[in-house]
Amino acid sequence: MTAAAPPDPPRRSAFARVFSFPAFLAVALVASVFHLANRRIADPDIWWHLRNAQYLLESHQFIRVDMYSFTVLGQPWMNHEWLAEIPYYLAWKAWGFQGVFLLMFCLIVAILLGIFWLATEASGNVKSAWVASWVAVLLATVSFGPRTLLFGWFFLVLLLGVLWRYKEQGKDHLWWLPLLFLVWVNSHGSWLIGMMVLGIYVGGGLLPSSTGMVEVTPWSPAQLRKLLRVAGLSLAALFVNPYGYRLVLYPFDLMFRVKLGVANVEEWMSVDFHSSRGKILMAVILVMLVFAVVRSHRWKPEWLCLFCLGLYLSVTYMRFLFLAGILFTPLLAQRLDFLPGYRREEDKPWLNALLMAGMIVSVVSRFPSAAALDREIARHYPAKAIAPLQSLLRQEPGPVLNDYLWGGYLIWNCRDVPVYIDSRVDIFEYNGVVGEYLQLSNLQRDPLRQLDQMPVRYVFLNSRAPLTYLLKQVPTWRVRYSDEVAVLFERVPTATPSAEPGRLPPAAASPPRPVRDP
């Protein structure tokens, strides 16, 4: 006599499904992201991104040469992130910088909820996935801001989800990948990481058999043929862009030609293991390795390769800590699966609903006002100085040497003033301006002699910059405007090189300092 089948669990009401414990964890994650990202609006690139998008939408022409500076004016330049700039501009046009902040917040939330979902699928335990996702949140703070890079990480999460579902669940959405890469290549250079992930996934199913701690699930011949066709179409889709093959080569150009920018911009430096993010990264790596040995967890070959890729890039370049959070979270969730699982019969929907409502009210009530965002911007950029600068230049025009991090701000807010440099580091490095600026701002050589040889009338710098202190001590430059953020100097017309008592000898030059983002 056969045993009776267990009864089906009772069907939950719509209220119980909406206000379930997993939904509560998702809302808690969103609320935490909001409070960590609140008012993070001061990114040096967003300004020229907005100007680029405005030009494209109004002129219906792609930018192909520099239009904003006096140092590299007319030199070839490729706007490789043009598609990702448009949503930010439309958000700004609809709701000012509150719209820009809201778009940034929605992108970060979409990425981290996608990671949370993938970790839940990989581990089968929503609690371990939530704990692991917190690690991703803390590492991701390195890129909290209105950045085009967020679109790249969003596309990467979509790619991982499609590949995961295809291999682990047999759900086929592969034909979306060529369209994904077409949008990706026109939005951000991180498409190259996406291609590497796709190649790793294809290669992971080509190994002949499992061995040791590696568990191989080989592709069937039909699966492999389809993957290769999709990969070929995705590769071809990269060339559907307004700049042709040059846009496809751009990430390689950045790796091999933009050496000064990579060496001196803080986010491209190696991770500091004395910092909070560095300590979190080290703890995650140790937990992953210890649990892999102690609990005899087996690795899928593709995820082992992705772990190594995330480890190398995040340790080498601080910028990729967000990437490490994306790639490490599903693996960490699997290793934390000893946490007690979610039991639906013990759920308390009314309590979940009350807590979720409280978190939503907290987010809505603390959403930054336009005035609050303006104050945040004014903490990092010369907002008060723009009107005096424009007034002075109308009366006494002349070239302005500006702070590197302020170039984009001037491009957007002071359009009649061509900049000396901005954070489009590629074109300025190709033409020698980055090297010149670093020598000057870090006082590496004789800065006063260097200024004498440059065709600039004004110097517009952060009030805390070393060069600002030096110029205040010499009679060859006079202060025309000053506040707590910015100082504007004008060259004294009658000065001669011999009358420079404040000149620093080469031995007094300070070592190079990284260019720090706000």
Q: In what order do the strands lie in the sheet with 486-491?
A: 400-402, 458-462, 486-491, 477-482
Write down the pLDDT at residue 6: 52
pTM listed for this prediction: 0.91
Write down the pLDDT at residue 514: 47
* Span 284-327, pLDDT tens digits: 888 888 887 777 777 888 988 999 999 999 999 999 999 999 99
Q: How many helices (H) and strands (E) does the chain have?
A: 22, 4
**Structure tokens that stand for 262 in this block:** 């990579």
DSSP characters over 351-366? HHHHHHHHHHHHHHHT
DSSP characters over 383-436? TTTHHHHHHHHHHS---EEE-GGGHHHHHHH-TTS-BS--S-HHHHHHTTHHHH
Angle between helix 149-164 and 191-204 (nearest 10): 20
If one compares 165 and 495, the residue with the highest pLDDT of the two is 165
d(CA 517, CA 111): 22
Write down the pLDDT at residue 266: 82
Distances from the Cα of 403 to the Cαs of 238, 280, 374, 490, in angstroms?
A: 35, 33, 20, 15
Residues 6+ apart with CB under 8 A from 106: none
Residue pair 138/328 in contact (Cβ under 8 Å)? The answer is no
pLDDT band with cut points at 50, 70 and 90 for residue 344 = confident
Write down the pLDDT at residue 10: 59
Identify the burial level of 190 via C-beta atoms within 10 angstroms of its C-beta, where 0-12 means exposed, 13-18 middle and 19 or more buried: buried
* Span 204-244, pLDDT tens digits: 888 877 676 788 888 889 999 999 999 999 999 999 999 99
pLDDT band with cut points at 50, 70 and 90 for residue 518 = very low
Residue with tokens 């499609």: 162
The CB-side HSE value for 433 (13 A sphere, CA atoms) comes to 24
If one compares 460 and 285, the residue with the highest pLDDT of the two is 460
* Range 356-371 average pLDDT: 94
Compute the 3-state secondary structure of the chain and give helix, strand, coil in percent, each to the nearest 5.
60, 5, 35
Tell me which range, 255-259, 268-272, 303-307, 418-422, is most confidently predicted by mean pLDDT.
Answer: 418-422
Write down the pLDDT at residue 263: 81
